[in-house]
Chains A and B, each alone.
Chain A
Amino acid sequence: MSLEELAFLVLALVAVATAVLALFVRELVHTILWIGVFFVDLAAIYFLIDAPFLGVLQLGVYAGAVTILLLFGIMVTRKRIFSREAITGIGALPTALAVAMFVFLALVVGEFPGSEQPVAAYSVTDLSRALFSTFGVYLLLLGLVMLGALAGAIYLVREGRE
């Protein structure tokens, strides 16, 4: 087992563990902490597969902005920040569904050759060129999504002056 594989194995286990912990701890603020670790962990995986720009983006947007946004959401919707959440039951049906889904999806794994493959690396220059020319339309569409979200969300959150 190479060093990269070992690193990936550890990072993957941490990702799964933090994702599960985030949904199961009883205190919402701890949830945010775990999900923060999860985001950083995924950024590390991106660095590992030679996508450093994505890793930086993940750190900035997710570990930075989204985590703070969620924390902010807890702060304004609660009178006391630290208060325990009554966890609803696990539920046999959703659990079965999730496990079945995992098994179904993991069938795919059997298709891949087990051999080691080289990771294709791309320079940030190439990526930016593709992002703004060949696939620039994606960005335009994302802009439209954000315009709608901005207009609606501001209206929704603003205190109405009656």
Chain B
Amino acid sequence: MSLVTTLLDFLPEILLLAGALLVFLVDALGLRRIEVVGSIAVVTILLALLFVFADLGFAPVAFLAAIPPGQIDVFPPAGSTPLYWFTSLGLFFQTFFLLAAFLVALASMSRPSRERGAAVFYGLILLATLGMMLVAVASDLIFLLIAIEVVSIPSYLLVAYTRRDTRSMEAAMKFFIVGALSTVLSFFGASFLYGAYGTTNLFVLASGSAIANGAAGGGGFPLLVVIGYSLLIAGLAFKITLVPFHAWAVDVYDGAPDDVSAFLAGGTKKIGLFAFFLVFLGPVLFAKVAFQWFGGIGPVSFGPVLQVLLSILAVVTMSVGNVLALMQKSMKRMLAYSSISQAGYMLIGVAIGTAPALTGASLQVFAHVFMKSGAFLVVAAAAGLGVGPLIADWRGLGQKRPWLSAAFALMLLSLAGMPLTVGFVSKFVLFSAAIEAQGYFVWLAVAGLLNSALSVFYYGRVLKVIYFDSPAAAPAVPAPEGASPAASGAAAGPDHTPTAPLALGGLGYARAATIAIVAIVIVVLGIYPGPLLQPLAAAAQHFIRLGL
């Protein structure tokens, strides 16, 4: 394979890299206005999106495809160990990642025009998006883990990019420490799997479990496999914020600049889920590794044990996330805990491991990209309007800003899973897949439904505050611009210079447009999900048959 054909496959990724380099170049040349770097980033992301659509074979743009028709969704030749492999499910996830980056990049263009660090912000967003796209095509454990690093390192720095804000700097430090621990655990687990299988190819890891049992003439090292996978669960659980490993997420999402929180919660977190797809679906489905415990119990088959473990993690994650969200006073912390509980719903898909469940989990990722980024972007907008960080500070916003409040209400209703929103569709597909799978998976659906009911309480409480509580007796309404740079994070910007008030009553066209797009997508796909659901189901079907 020549270098050029290899690179052509990665056309969208190369576009993103070129965009990032262009942003840094423009910055070095002194063109620091956020309109310039922002539009470069937005255009790059849209172009990349176009090419991914083309690769997926969507009719109007299919002729742009870098991957020739028919190359997606084929099986690798037997015995080969490719480092990356294009699947339509992976391309769908690339689309989701690009959409998350697009929303954040577009909304951030409404920040102060002369804000310091705008170029670094956009450059790092583009690089992190590039890493996310690489995660979606990995078929090798080490490729996957290094691609996760390509995402992680820019995200630590993104949290810190408002250099003068102590809170976000501390959040960055915490994020870095936890992220590094997760990296260490993942790579150590990967080394054990390499020891057992002699390769880190995910196809081999998924299907060649017999080797670890000693069928291929080796001694067989089932314990090496089991412990390797355990360490990988711990390492990747940090990324996707499963419950024993979730504590960092709340502080980081709370302390990070608002737009960065939107990117982290709506975008980068989802790579953890796709990594779970890649690494754990194989063992869940094939379950060939049997191991003998030291007490002589066994042989125990690894797959079902893993399924039970993942199910428990899913239920614990969604319950703990929801209960803690119920007790929060701060809006961003509430959204952060709700984001943790959503990770629990997504994990159900991996635990069950059937095609409908995978579809449901992917759809949940798609819905979450819009709902959660949207919600954090509204919080950023509200901070720009002088609304404080506490939920109580949102009193009476429904009368003051009816459109913004309506959009926010829509996102919260979708997060809670109300019918006619995309959040309902994804949960419906996911839970019905759990019921279809029979066995104890039915209880996963029950737990999910109970949790959805629970979440209605805290989303409803926010809605009540916004719409039915009278505006406070004017708690010395802070000036919208520059009064509280530390509290409002990125919206005001720590290095900000005085700027003219933004259009649309302080919201800015770009941010208003982003919020409108999110609201429209939530409703339209909530009413008419077919065009997304069917190709996604087909992609999930193929992904399972691929044996990853």
Q: Do chains A and B touch in the complex (CB under 8 A)?
A: yes
The residues of A with any CB-CB pair to B shorter than 8 Å are 104-105, 107-108, 110-113, 135, 137-138, 141-142, 144-145, 147-149, 151-153, 155-156, 160, 162
Contact indicator A152/B161 (Cβ below 8 Å): yes
Sorted from nearest, which 4 A-B pairs have the closest CB atoms? A152-B157, A148-B154, A141-B146, A155-B120
A142–B143 CA distance with the chains assembled, in angstroms: 10
Residues in B with CB closer than 8 Å to A108 are 192, 221, 223-224, 227
Residues in B with CB closer than 8 Å to A141 are 134, 143, 146-147, 149-150
A149–B146 CA distance with the chains assembled, in angstroms: 13
A1–B134 CA distance with the chains assembled, in angstroms: 48
Contact indicator A147/B143 (Cβ below 8 Å): no
A107–B158 CA distance with the chains assembled, in angstroms: 40
B142: CB under 8 A from chain A?
Answer: yes
Interface centre among A107, A152, A162 (most CB of B within 10 A): A152
Q: Which of B218-240 contact A (CB under 8 A)?
A: 219, 221-224, 227, 230
B127: CB under 8 A from chain A?
Answer: yes
Residues in A with CB closer than 8 Å to B117 are 155
A111–B220 CA distance with the chains assembled, in angstroms: 8
Give 12 CB contacts A-B under 8 Å. A104-B227, A107-B227, A111-B223, A141-B134, A145-B146, A148-B127, A148-B154, A151-B24, A155-B161, A155-B163, A156-B161, A160-B163
Residues in B with CB closer than 8 Å to A155 are 117, 120, 157, 161, 163
Q: Mark B146-180, 1 if CB is under 8 A from A, else 0.
A: 11011001101110110110000000000000000
Residues in B with CB closer than 8 Å to A147 are 20, 127
A144–B13 CA distance with the chains assembled, in angstroms: 11
Given contacts A151-B120, A151-B124, A152-B120, contact A145 B149 (CB under 8 A): yes
Given contacts A147-B127, A148-B127, A152-B157, contact A107 B150 (CB under 8 A): no
Q: Mark B94-133, 1 if CB is under 8 A from A, else 0.
A: 0000000000000000000000110010011001101100
Nearest CB in chain A to that of B169: its residue? A156
Other A-B contacts than A141-B146, A151-B24, 11 sampled, CB-CB below 8 A, are A111-B223, A137-B83, A138-B146, A141-B149, A148-B124, A148-B153, A152-B124, A152-B156, A155-B163, A156-B160, A160-B163
Contact indicator A137/B153 (Cβ below 8 Å): no
A133–B135 CA distance with the chains assembled, in angstroms: 21
Residues in B with CB closer than 8 Å to A113 are 219
Q: Tell me, rounded to whole Å, the shortest Cβ–Cβ distance linking B402 to chain A.
A: 39
A141–B230 CA distance with the chains assembled, in angstroms: 25
Q: Mark B489-522, 1 if CB is under 8 A from A, else 0.
A: 0000001000000000000000000000000000
A104–B185 CA distance with the chains assembled, in angstroms: 14
A94–B123 CA distance with the chains assembled, in angstroms: 38
Residues in A with CB closer than 8 Å to B221 are 108, 111-112
The residues of B with any CB-CB pair to A shorter than 8 Å are 17, 20, 24, 83-84, 116-117, 120, 123-124, 127-128, 130-131, 134, 142-143, 146-147, 149-150, 153-154, 156-158, 160-161, 163-164, 192, 219, 221-224, 227, 230, 294, 495
A137–B9 CA distance with the chains assembled, in angstroms: 13
Residues in B with CB closer than 8 Å to A148 are 124, 127-128, 131, 150, 153-154, 157
Given contacts A145-B146, A148-B153, contact A137 B84 (CB under 8 A): yes
Residues in B with CB closer than 8 Å to A104 are 227, 230
Given contacts A141-B143, A142-B146, contact A160 B24 (CB under 8 A): no
A142–B131 CA distance with the chains assembled, in angstroms: 11
Given contacts A147-B127, A151-B120, contact A107 B223 (CB under 8 A): yes
A162–B493 CA distance with the chains assembled, in angstroms: 13
Q: Tell me, rounded to whole Å, the shortest Cβ–Cβ distance linking B162 to chain A.
A: 10
Q: Tell me, rounded to whole Å, the shortest Cβ–Cβ distance linking A128 to chain B.
A: 17
Contact indicator A137/B143 (Cβ below 8 Å): yes
Residues in A with CB closer than 8 Å to B84 are 137
Nearest CB in chain A to that of B145: its residue? A141
Contact indicator B116/A152 (Cβ below 8 Å): no
Residues in A with CB closer than 8 Å to B116 are 160
Nearest CB in chain A to that of B234: its residue? A101
Nearest CB in chain A to that of B497: its residue? A162
Q: Tell me, rounded to whole Å, the shortest Cβ–Cβ distance linking A145 to chain B.
A: 5
A104–B161 CA distance with the chains assembled, in angstroms: 40
Contact indicator A145/B160 (Cβ below 8 Å): no
Residues in B with CB closer than 8 Å to A151 are 24, 120, 123-124, 127, 157
Q: Tell me, rounded to whole Å, the shortest Cβ–Cβ distance linking A16 to chain B.
A: 16
Q: Tell me, rounded to whole Å, the shortest Cβ–Cβ distance linking B154 to chain A.
A: 4
A138–B150 CA distance with the chains assembled, in angstroms: 11
A137–B150 CA distance with the chains assembled, in angstroms: 13
Contact indicator B83/A145 (Cβ below 8 Å): no
Contact indicator B153/A149 (Cβ below 8 Å): yes
Q: Tell me, rounded to whole Å, the shortest Cβ–Cβ distance linking A97 to chain B.
A: 11
A162–B142 CA distance with the chains assembled, in angstroms: 43
A149–B161 CA distance with the chains assembled, in angstroms: 12
Residues in B with CB closer than 8 Å to A144 are 17, 127, 130-131, 134, 150
Nearest CB in chain A to that of B131: its residue? A144
Q: Tell me, rounded to whole Å, the shortest Cβ–Cβ distance linking A58 to chain B.
A: 16
Residues in A with CB closer than 8 Å to B164 are 160
Q: Tell me, rounded to whole Å, the shortest Cβ–Cβ distance linking A35 to chain B.
A: 16
Q: Tell me, rounded to whole Å, the shortest Cβ–Cβ distance linking B237 to chain A.
A: 15
Nearest CB in chain A to that of B126: its residue? A148
Interface centre among A111, A112, A137, A162 (most CB of B within 10 A): A137
Q: Tell me, rounded to whole Å, the shortest Cβ–Cβ distance linking B89 to chain A.
A: 21
Contact indicator A160/B157 (Cβ below 8 Å): no
Contact indicator A111/B120 (Cβ below 8 Å): no
Given contacts A108-B227, A137-B83, contact A156 B163 (CB under 8 A): yes
A128–B130 CA distance with the chains assembled, in angstroms: 27
Q: Tell me, rounded to whole Å, the shortest Cβ–Cβ distance linking B35 to chain A.
A: 20
Nearest CB in chain B to that of A139: its residue? B146
Residues in B with CB closer than 8 Å to A156 are 157, 160-161, 163
